[in-house]
Amino acid sequence: MINITLPDNSIKSFESYPSGMDVAISISEGFARNCVAMKIEDKMLDLNSVIKKDSSIKFITIKDKDALEILRHSAAHVMAEAVQNIYPDAALTIGPVVDDGFYYDIDMKPVSEEDFPTIEAEINNIIKAKKTFERKVVTKEDALEIFKDNPYKTELIQELSDQEISLYQQGGFTDLCRGPHIPHTGMIKGIKLMKTSGAYWRADQSKAQLQRLYGTAFFDKKDLNAYLHLIEEAKKRDHRKLGTKLDLYSFHQEAAGMPFFHAKGMEMWNVLLEYWREEHKRAGYVETKTPVMLSRHLWEQSGHWENYRENMYTSVVDDEEYAIKPMNCPGGMILYKTGSYSYRDLPLRAGEIGLVHRHEMSGALSGLFRVRAFHQDDAHIFMTPDQIGDEILGVLNLVNRIYSRFGLGFHLELSTRPKKSIGSDAQWEEATNGLKNALNKYGQDYVINEGDGAFYGPKIDIHIKDALGRTWQCGTVQLDMALPERFDLSYKGSDNEKHRPIMIHRVIYGSIERFFGILVEHFAGKFPLWLAPVQAVILPINDDLAPHAHDVSRQLTEHGIRCEVDTRTESLKKKVRDAQVNYTPLIITIGEKERESATLSVRTLDGNVKMGLAINEFVKPVIKHIKDRVLEEIVL
């Protein structure tokens, strides 16, 4: 007799060893149809796995978070089978799940998106056949024999320490895999090949170049269609295209991965920094600045040379090795050591807009989202142990104020100690508990990412959500007890003895370049008035009115309104249309009537037109709208 305990603590008994699917069907056939896998003793298993002892079981259904990853893992196998059916000489390598889908690297003749319909047709044939995924465990020798004609699989198998290796078979197709998988291919209701690219075996340029086929899959075709619609919307908002169209920034091979910001881009950049400085001054921060290049000795002391050297740019100055800073932290340590502090001086909150450089592979560069040179809105908070909770809460409240100003929601993730780290076990435990306690007090749900912390301390990652529902990791809060130890930082306590401060590293914009790109896509280039690089454009209807238009422009500029005069020899209709295409919030038309009456005719982007506005009557609400940093369009 086998007793199975269900999540509601009820028990089902079976005379013989049941499979997970047997247990699911015993609950109801409708329930079983929606089951993807099961979890026993925190181990994820296929539903066709046989249970040979009394166990507690949790079913993974299509509504659970883990289910989609299992489905996509299975979809990668289906795509691989389809490719091999069409291209028998193709040699499969690896096919992992990634964000929003999966890919498979394959040694095969080049394919393009024109080949996708043929591959998708074969995929759909495999899905319609409802082939079951069957797990088999074989010896290492047997696995090597099965894949003897595939050098990539052979290499993977030889590196495995396990003497027993699991394979998965669907019909006549077999692949090396740990699993688990969905019960059968028919559960894939929506699948689409997305793109193809080149990839080197094991990311090594000296090795074979492979074809990487990307795809995505869902349990429901409606979800697939919604996702494809989202992709199309995202393409329309692509910050690389919008940045060029709006004359904000550009990218050039002369400085790959290092964006050039144009005059209009710098207007918006400075508005972002002005707001940042205003909020930080209110929150009790001072602003500092540290050099962009520092000696190797400093990076060895901080631990970056040992743990981050491959991402750093170096140079030699006066026969001494230097590194361009990839992070601002060590410079902040030096600044702290220039002073003498008591417990009464803490917390000390020091912010820095620091230019940092990190080496990224050329293939990974992507507009403003992945660059080699960027600015971090860093801050380092030095404090006593009893101030940890309040300071972390202060950062989270500041994060909420700043992100809300842009209409951005966010969720929180706590990342714990990675394998490669510095500091003692006791320091890590105290730091991690400090973050957990602060998060619990903050009251917002959070996810724990085991082993994903920084090498010097645990961290809270802050993921913002944009207008399309996409999430971006921007802000982070990192608690560090190791660097104050390495740099011998101290303060005098109430007992008149020296004590080691606790330190918080934190960013809110994160990479300002990346945050800038996110805002371009979030607003689709249609920025709120306070953020728009050009807030008003003035359109004289003929050349004779140009001097008056420039006079109006000077008056608006004196009030802090960013404006331009369009004196091109184009029709008024064309000028208005161009201003709308460039998402200029306020379009001001100047005719003879407006000059004689000293008034303005103003059109907003939502199509509303207000005529006969005196300049002061126009300026007052506009200045207030900008000062209050209102997200919605202005109503005049």
pLDDT at 423 (0 to 100): 79
What pLDDT, on a 0 to 100 scale, did the predictor assign at position 68?
Answer: 96
Cα separations (Å) of 414 from 307, 312, 365, 380, 438? 21, 26, 27, 19, 11
Q: How much is the CA Rg of the chain, to the nearest whole Å?
A: 30
pLDDT for res 163: 78
Domain closes at, from 61, 83, 101: 61
- In a shared domain, residues 518 and 613: no
Is residue 236 assigned to a domain? Answer: no
Whether pTM exceeds 0.85 = no
Is 380 in the active site?
yes
Of the candidates 2, 59, 66, 65, the residue with the CA atom closest to the CA atom of residue 27:
59
Active-site choice (329, 372, 375, 603): 329
Kindly state whether residue 562 falls inside one of the protein's structural domains. Answer: yes
Same domain, 92 and 144: yes
Looking at the domain assignment, is residue 307 inside a domain? Answer: no
Closest CA to 93 of 195, 121, 103, 74: 103
Set 77, 239, 358, 370: catalytic member: 358
Q: What are the beta bridge partners of residue 2? A: 14
Q: Is 337 a catalytic residue?
A: no
* Separation between Cα atoms, residue 160 and residue 176, nearest integer Å: 12
Phi, psi of 312 (to 5 degrees): -105, 145
What is residue 80's predicted lDDT score, i.e. its pLDDT? Answer: 97
The torsion of the CA quartet 260, 265, 269, 274, rounded to 10 degrees, works out to 140
Ranges of residues in the chain with a pLDDT under 70 are none
Contact 560, 576 (CB under 8 A): no
CB 322 within 8 A of CB 294: yes
| Cα gap 164→137, rounded to integer Å | 6
Quick one: 165 and 192 in the same domain? yes
Same domain? For 611 and 503 the reply is: no
Catalytic residue among 84, 170, 211, 376: 376
Determine contact, residues 431/481, Cβ cutoff 8 Å. Answer: yes
Q: Which of 73, 237, 264, 380 is catalytic?
A: 380
185 shares a domain with 115: yes
Phi, psi of 495 (to 5 degrees): -90, 10
Q: Which of 61, 88, 110 is the last residue of a domain?
A: 61
Q: Looking at 73, 153, 181, 459, which residue is catalytic?
A: 459
> Which residues contact residue 149 at a Cβ distance below 8 angstroms, ignoring those fewer than 6 apart?
none
Let me know whether 336 and 456 are in one domain.
yes
| Catalytic-labelled residue, pool 240, 505, 522, 548 | 505
Domain assignment of residue 476, given as a range: 249-290+326-522
| Dist CA 35 CA 343 (whole Å) | 57
CB 189 within 8 A of CB 221: yes
Distance CA 553, CA 531 (A): 19
pLDDT in the model for residue 394: 95
DSSP string, 76-133: HHHHHHHHHHH-TT-EE----EETTEEEEEEESS---GGGHHHHHHHHHHHHHTTPBP
Same domain, 364 and 435: yes
Q: What is the pLDDT of residue 303?
A: 86
Concerning whether 349 is annotated as a catalytic residue, the answer is: no
Question: Does residue 240 lie in a domain region?
Answer: no
Q: What pLDDT score does 261 carry?
A: 98
